[in-house]
Amino acid sequence: MLRLDSRGSGTCTSLEEAVFMQVSQLDSELCAQVTGMLLELPPLRLARLLQDGARLGEAVCAARAEYLRFTGLHQLLADPKLLQLRTSQALEAIGRADKYYQCIDGVAQERTCQDGLLFHPERPYPCVYPQEVDCLARSGIQDPQPTEDCPRQFALFRTSDAPADCSGFTSCVNGRAFRADCPETLAYNARTLLCQWADEVEDCDAAGYLGFQCPAQEFSPDQVGEFTRQPHPDDCTKYYICLNKEDGSVKPRLQGCPEPTVFDPAKDACNENIEEVPGCENAIAPEVLAAYRDRQAQEDARREARLQEVRSTLDG
């Protein structure tokens, strides 16, 4: 057939060659497979596609999606509109965890996530940390581009490998490292990318991190999740709960009493009457305790005044 190439000159090619040449410009990786699928179309329809670049691009994206779906190498999104791939749709690249195809107006454009990030088909921004995506059969990734402090350009990881040093984490952005720490008592979980209780982080030694060893105790499976309270050895305003874990261990979790109370082992609770707790009489600064009791007195007075108003209304 006679067709115009990209330069506008006339060239004589067969239908198969024309399809292959056009498809290779849109999808260089699967051009042979996609071409084979398109050649199953009626010749007249195929000829019309070759004359309409937008419709051809759309057909290429749809054929690619079908090929990947039937070969089991691509898990399509739940949204059936993905099969149409008309505008702004993302499609995985075979065997590559950090590559994808963006189909815009029916034209497939290859994209590569930044070094350290992988493609996620269901996120508004398609490139995420490796911990956030299940790559299934896709394992290939680009070579790392490390810097002095970062294994890759983009990364998020616990700063220390020591089991008892669990609070610090490092975020790498364009190869630059930013270090931070979780709030007190929490540990960084590299699996979830969150700060969590130390006893919930698998590779964190909660006892070593918090500096407290819970008393050993035996418990039955139905007692998993139950806990006891233990006083902090040095700080009356804090205490530990010792949790029964599924693996049979007992792990600590640091808690704090609301100001200005202290933990009372006799009551197994926080107590605002600090003079009732031996050894904790001076745990709260006098000015803090005085300010708290003044606020309490004022609140009691306001509450009593409101009650008097209600009684007067009812009596009137």
pLDDT at 30 over 80: no
The pLDDT of residue 229:
95
The pLDDT of residue 32:
65
Residue 113 sits in the same domain as residue 156? no
pLDDT at 89 over 80: no
Residue 166 sits in the same domain as residue 245? no
- pLDDT-based confidence at 71, cuts 50/70/90? very low
Point out the domain boundary residue: 183, 203, 223: 203
Q: How many domains does the chain have?
A: 3
Point out the domain boundary residue: 162, 177, 203: 203
Residue 109 sits in the same domain as residue 153? no
pTM > 0.75: yes or no: no
Chain-wide mean pLDDT for the chain? Answer: 81
- The verdict on residue 138 lying in a domain is no
Contact 80, 66 (CB under 8 A): no
- The verdict on residue 46 lying in a domain is yes
Type and span of the H or E element at 289: helix 286-315
Residue 175 sits in the same domain as residue 288? no
pLDDT at 127 over 50: yes
Give rounded-to-5 percent helix, strand, coil for the chain.
30, 25, 45
Residue 18 sits in the same domain as residue 76? yes
Residue showing tokens 């952005």: 173
Beta strands in 105-197 (DSSP E): 107-112, 118-119, 127-128, 155-158, 168-173, 176-181, 186-189, 194-197
Chain centre to alpha carbon of residue 120: 12
- The verdict on residue 60 lying in a domain is yes
| The amino acid at 208 | G
- pLDDT-based confidence at 119, cuts 50/70/90? confident
Structural domain that includes position 115: 2-132
- The verdict on residue 142 lying in a domain is no
Residue 189 sits in the same domain as residue 219? no
- The verdict on residue 34 lying in a domain is yes
Q: What gap in Å lies between CA 111 and CA 95, rounded to an integer? A: 14
For residue 190, the 8-state DSSP code is T
pLDDT at 82 over 50: no
Peptide bond into 260 cis (omega under 30): yes
Residue 195 sits in the same domain as residue 231? no
- The verdict on residue 309 lying in a domain is no
Return the minimum-mean-pLDDT range out of 42-51, 134-143, 188-197.
134-143
- The verdict on residue 137 lying in a domain is no
- The verdict on residue 157 lying in a domain is yes
Residue 25 sits in the same domain as residue 123? yes
pLDDT at 269 over 90: yes
Residue 8 sits in the same domain as residue 128? yes
Residue 251 sits in the same domain as residue 187? no
